[in-house]
Structure 1
Amino acid sequence: MGEFVREVGGREFVVFCSDGLAAQAAVLLDVIGRMSAEGRVFRAGDVFNFGGMLFLIGERGGRMTVGLPVVDGQAVLGDGDDISFLLALLVAQLGCARALGVEPEQANLWDKVVVAEGCLSAEWVYLERSVDVEAGDSGWFVGSLADGGDFALRSLRVWQLLRIRPALARVLALPGRFVVVFKGSQVVSVFDSEGVELMK
């Protein structure tokens, strides 16, 4: 695990992640620098949003650390120093959108996802993103291709989806009206807002 340090406002900020994510760590530290220059004062316990992900500011040994997120007061993805998982997820989401030639649309960790009851244990699932949704709603629906008629719905948060079926999270930055079909952890089809299949 690499340690990436930047002095911001007279204090050292440190990001712990794999060496392969050094560029992403630098961008994250750049954002902290810009926010500080604009008057943001970071204190231990503060939480800030970067690319839809929440990061927790800590303090240890006189340095400010950038750690895993806290949602509703809970360290929902663990409480270690290594943030490689979240940085890699951001890279995957942006890479997915770029590979398909579309502008990414952020989905926040705390946003709502609607799922068909029991679908997350199915091998074949699809995700469809609605538009014109309320704040706090990602617009994403997850269903099973095996579902027939009526099925119960329940709401999760994006961070909960990450814990239950993390492979699905890499497509969450695709725009509204997109449909993505998964077999297990693999994307097998992507349809754009016009119903054109972009990937198969």
Structure 2
Amino acid sequence: MAEELGTYRARLGNHAVSLTCRSDFEDKARAFLDTLAELDAQPGAAIFFGGLLFRIAPTPSGLEVRQPDYLAEAPPKAGPGAEDAWATWVADVSDALVLLTAQLRVTSIIGVEPCDYRIDQTITVLKAAIEQERFYMVRQEPSSPNDSGWYLGSAEDAPQDHAPTNYTVVPLAALFRMRPAALRVLALPPGFLARFEGDALVGVGNEKDEEVYAR
């Protein structure tokens, strides 16, 4: 059964702006609209909120908050200007709000402040880990403004070949297609490691190699 959607409205300067999402996310939708007003977001602008990308799209009836359709196409590029490269934007921003809520839940359970990232920053991925049941995510200090610091590797016991050709560097947005479960830990700070089995987050270690969460 499809989730019931609601559309919530606010004033953005001299403009009316609307946001559509699942009705059970009304409180988060209104908080987001309040944030847009504080930021004085302009019509047509692309903004990052909690690491995710949104656009304030002009329509005949006013302004509308949209998100990229992350599953409709491969991430076009990483770094500055990536916000202008998405061909498909959707008015239902439920997926983004669900993800932001999940990220805040993870950082809250572990007891750390969310650490900034941008969905157009890059992540280094061991290609073999993309299809494996057991994998991990570890974050180091970023090497450049375009680098998130994140690495996705294999937690399988088989020996790994570390030849450069076995790795790929992609925008974080590629995780929506490759390993969507990993998206929930993106707000963890450098030094943290998260272990997964399929879609389940089964453990988190901190920068002191202490286990701070175990399922």
Alpha carbon RMSD of aligned pairs, Å?
1.5
Please show how residues 48-197 of structure 1 align to structure 2 within 5 Å.
48-69=47-68, 71-75=83-87, 78-146=88-156, 147-151=158-162, 152-197=166-211
Question: More displaced, 120-129 or 147-156?
Answer: 147-156
The SS at the match of 1:177 is: coil
8 Å CA contact 2:138–2:192 kept in 1: the answer is yes
The amino acid across from 1:148 in the alignment is: P
Moved over 4 A (4+): none
Shift of 1:72: 4.5
Unaligned runs of 5+ in 2: 69-81
More deviation in 54-63 or 176-185? 54-63
How many residue pairs get matched?
193
Instruction: Report the secondary structure of 2:83's partner residue.
Output: coil
Matched, 1:2 2:14: no
TM-score by length of 2: 0.84
Which residue pairs with 2:77 in the alignment?
none
1:73-93 alpha-carbon deviations (Å, 9 max, x no partner): 114xx5321000001111111
CA gap of 1:132–1:107, structure 2 versus 1, over 3 A, is closer
Cα distance in 2, alignment partners of residues 120 and 72 from structure 1:
27
Superposition deviation, residue 106 in structure 1: 1.9
> How far off its partner does 1:61 sit?
2.7
TM-score by length of 1: 0.90
Q: 2:27 aligns with which of 23, 29, 33?
A: 23
Give, as a single letter, the amino acid of the residue that structure 2 aligns with 1:176.
P
**Contact 2:103–2:185 (CA under 8 A) maintained in structure 1:** yes
Q: How far does residue 50 in structure 1 lie from its aligned partner after superposition?
A: 1.0
Q: CA deviation at 1:132?
A: 4.7
Q: For residue 4 of structure 1, report the CA deviation from its aligned partner.
A: 0.5
* CA deviations over 1:11-40 (Å, ceiling 9, x no partner): 10000001111121112111211122xxx5
Instruction: Give the whole-Å Cα distance in 2 for the aligned partners of 1:63 and 1:28.
Output: 17
Deviation at 1:150, TM superposition (A): 2.1
* Cross-structure match for 2:72: none
Which blocks of at least 5 consecutive residues in structure 1 are unaligned?
none
2:142–2:148 Cα contact (<8 Å) kept: no
**Structure 1 equivalent of residue 79 of structure 2:** none
Provide the C-alpha distance between the structure 2 equivalents of 1:190 and 1:171, rounded to a whole number of angstroms: 9
Q: Which letter maps to 2:43?
A: R
- Cα 1:190–1:53 shift into 2, 3 Å: same
Question: What's the offset of the Cα at 1:195?
Answer: 0.6
Shift of 1:118: 2.2
